[in-house]
Structure 1
């Protein structure tokens, strides 16, 4: 028969395709008979089996052979299948760039088919899943969920329950990362139900491990263990060590929460060794993280810190800036190519229409009307974009003004003036009122402009700190130091950008502190393109400040820093370089908190 389609091959070999010995025999027979489609099918099936038992090198070699044979046979179905399978193998080993190349090429090939077969449609869904997983790697969870839901809709049309199970599992994973644990539970349970219907052992193990992980995050270790303990042998029998190592690590996590440290350490170590032996960087990172938590719970902080550093090294290796930049470039490239293809198709259709209307004397008029209409639409869209952008900037500036004109600050300042008047301290009242009115005037003036000079910003900040210092009984040692090679009149920055960070230092760092209170503002040239502004205080630190904040009866809602970061992002669009905001916790020689440092890198070019 030598059928050419994947569906016919898969139907004929349904009972044999689970046996790698029979598949290899079939592949060799096809090679002898020069039956390229059968040989490519068999090699891909064998590759999938090796992948599912974590033998990734063998799997990649088999899929690569299948790809070369499919190209030789000029069979798009099997070529797309081979590319997608290669992408899955490399994604399992965290080789993001290589995986994305293969899945991208598979999607492009599949979408070029005019009358796609059932298998081509399935391959498109596989590729969409891979793009969704790419967005998930970039922590763009909403975009990832959009891709998974798109694939989910196609799988429903095809009636493919395996695809439905996979997509609900992926959506659950994204919701878990977003912190929506209830939404994640709902999708994991749907995925488990589909896996039960199709009797997939692998799917059951994967879903139950995911459910247990949610229970652990909800601090329900007993419920997690009920799911995890039966999975130890089940996952081993499947042979997929990616899942098995995660099951063992999660079991150790559950025992850590219950205080069963002997069991906890053993399970986490077993899971970590599986991940190391089978080259699974993501699970190695996960294992080190849980070992660090385990040692911390036991009180062994030195060991916990060592594991934390190892986890951090793996995290940097997996999530390197090069990989993220590459993935972003590929996404942009794909979207651009897709749009260019659509534009090319539209251009061809327009040419046909133009040729058909050539004999018509009104062609020129119609063309002019079309061009005018398109131009008008483009102009309207452009104006709408400009309007939305201007509205966003205006909203930011209004929010900034509201955050500066803090009702709490105004109320306390006016109370201080009132107290001076009541105590008949006219000189102090007049002095305080002058500073207060000057500050309010500067805030109102600055709120009407997009940017001011660094010199103007420093003048406003000094006024603000002088007023706050009066309210703190002049206990705060506030100083500004600046490198001699910096000209503050030539450096531009968003107006009132420093005040939220100073307010944060005052209220959360210094307010609850006893003894000496210091805030130093240092301005220095970081490099040719950036000026670095450091705000350092000797307050109680972010950990203690958060505890104090949670214990307060009246909690102040702080939005100033978030708004400032958005304004800085908008401001930096006019420059070649980006801004950076970094908050560093400071500690003394004994590891005790000794304050906080905020570092703002403002672009100058």
Structure 2
């Protein structure tokens, strides 16, 4: 007995382990190539995507490959490739795809009773889902797994999902939800509710023949558990008949095996053995080694339990004689070997991709650091340029202030000479009046000494005080008038500080002073085409005759006065981007005198 059992066990070991090794050598090359192209299509598409490092295509191919394994019932590999797809979609930041794959991964993990991992993926799917209904579905499944001890609560979450799915018209998911509901009912031994839920699942799985068969077999299992064997057998026989009509040999084999299981439970071993033998013979004929193994193991187990060594040896001999034919006709082994080769290539390409990604990451990090360094360098140069510009501007402001102050010594010198002249002539009243006006003017000039621009009203006030002083001294030489255009608001517009005064001084000292008759000095302000025009008009002796009368010292001073004014205007234009212009013209005979025209932009705010 023990020796025979040992032979049986040895036979099974020979069947289970060296099988694939032998199959590799006995598969004809042409046949192997035919099946390889069919079963490895998705895998080869994945290798192409990996070779190109196309992340979007890689993610899609991982997902397609996972689906292929799940459809074949290989949930372990299905889970593996879904995880890889999830990583790629996460890297691509494609939340919609990420939510879908996370949900599918959670379902596969739940089917393998990996409830903690499944719960985490349902939660992840709910957090990244862009559709509110998808978010609610995943939240319900997360809560359902975390209330595993409460069947009623689980049914409540499933019913909520069913309502959502009915509105969304997602038939496949709706079918899965009813299956989950049935399995929840079975946990609480509510077989009637389970069968009802399975039947509802069937109505939404019509487009999936394999799904329909799976659900019907679950219903048959429930009936068998209730000892309603005839109903279970009827379901299996119906599936078997449909499989025979459509030449679905794999389903025929599995249904015969399931019938054998029911017959054993029903205590009808003869019928069970007959079904197992039929399954074994059909699997051998069609080269389905996995089902041959399953059927053979069940038969040998039964014969051993009955002590029927004769049947066991006969069955083993039959298997051994047909072993080579079974292996040669098993296309699944070809597929497995072909995929194994492709999978090795996938693993190699994945390693290469990881290295490429690391290199790209390092390169990007270096580029980022380089960009940051260049940016900081530009900022540094910007600060330097800004500092240089500020220094340059400050220098111009200092130069402008220096030029403005340069006008004061000559004016002070002339004013003091005038006071001295009044005193020497015993004109104390005139001297006092002059000093009073002079002090008022100097106070205004000091108050505005740091301002480049002042209001036109302020400037006119200063100029009037200056002209009043000069008129005190040369009252017999000239009179003056100041005219302002009606459209000018002198309190609202601004003009450069002390730009006009040097020209008034030149008109008095070099034109009107030498005139034999009393002259007239006209200072006029007008608004023309949004510009402020200042005109200084005198009827003195004119530029030509004035130059003839000047001493060498006076020539130098006048030249410096005009140069000072030009430099100040250039600096103001440069600093404030204004267009201030001036020109001096000598009047044509028979008239005498000069006309100075200074044009300012219309400025309505303080600079």
- TM-score greater than 0.5 by the shorter chain: no
* TM-score of the superposed pair, with normalisation by structure 2: 0.37
Larger RCO (alpha carbons 8 Å, 6+ apart) = 2
* TM-score of the superposed pair, with normalisation by structure 1: 0.37
Specify the structure having the higher radius of gyration (Cα): 2
